[in-house]
Amino acid sequence: MFKNVFGSGFLVRTAHVMLTWVITLILFLHDTDLRKQEETGELVVPVLFVLLVLVSVLLYFAVSLMDPGFVLSDDADMQFTLGVTEEQQDMIPQNTKSLRQRRCGHCLLQQPMRSKHCQTCQHCVRRYDHHCPWIENCVGERNHRWFVLYLAVQLIVLIWGLHMACSGFTYTSTWQLWLRANGVLLGTTAVVAVLALTVLLLLGSHLYLVSLNTTTWEFMSRQRISYLKHCGADENPFDRGVLHNLWGFFCIWGTVVWEQVYFRQGSNPI
């Protein structure tokens, strides 16, 4: 399930963990509300903050090391046959029936619908969304929901950290003295603010795409994808309504036979 922790992403993961805990340490070393509450013995907020930071780090490693849904065997036809009856297969036009027989030009395995070969990971990934360089892993069928959860927790940590950082600035008589007293905290605040904005935009975009039951790859490369390029600009064969899409994404576990969903939507069997 998990890849080697000392793989190619070791430096990226180390940098992430070090940056996270260095920022946390700076917030406790300066005269922020966290330090004030710690010094007065009010430990509830500081402990909760540290625990939330720890949860965000654990989620980061889970998403980073988890198998995103690699296609490791030539089982696309088997899954398609199990998911679609003979009567439904007869309704599938010949030009779309060949979609399920697509073979990857790199790993030579048959690609299930919505999968894509990642040049970095050297595998085809089911329901491929994108390859994230920050986690040094693909985001796909198995870890996408955990990636969204990680972004949500990370955003809470960053906003909370930004609030704590702003509470630690001290006031002096001149700008020179103020910068000297608050320089490190000011730099930390700027980094946290940029990260918070980035995570907010990422989380918002992913929730939007999830609500439409589409992926980043499908959204960005629609005209080059064989099973989507013949659809209209506003047509998505996988869209089952916002609530159903969100429920299926967050609450339904297991591999989905997307060929069944696609051809059922397209052929409208009686």
- Closest CA relative to residue 261, chosen from 243, 236, 231, 233: 236
The answer to whether residues 145 and 254 touch, using CB atoms and an 8 Å cutoff, is no
| Residues 72-94: tens digit of each pLDDT | 887 544 444 444 444 444 434 44
Tokens of 70: 């690699």
Residue 222 has, within 13 A of its CA and on its CB side, a CA count of 12
Q: Give the separation between CA 137 and CA 132, rounded to whole angstroms.
A: 6
| Residues 184-233: tens digit of each pLDDT | 999 999 999 999 999 999 999 999 999 999 999 999 998 888 888 888 77
pLDDT of residue 9: 79
Main-chain phi, psi angles of 131, to 5 degrees: -100, 120
pLDDT of residue 179: 86
pLDDT of residue 8: 62
- Give me the active site residues, please: 132
Q: State the chain's mean pLDDT as an integer.
A: 84
pLDDT of residue 234: 79
**Global pTM value:** 0.84
Please identify every stretch of the chain with a pLDDT value under 50, giving residue numbers as ranges.
Answer: 1, 76-100, 267-270
Q: Give the separation between CA 212 and CA 245, rounded to whole angstroms.
A: 7
pLDDT of residue 14: 92
pLDDT of residue 159: 97
CA 44 remoteness from chain centre: 30
Mention every residue, 6+ apart, whose C-beta is less than 8 A from residue 191. Answer: 23
Domain map (residue ranges) of the chain: 10-67+140-264
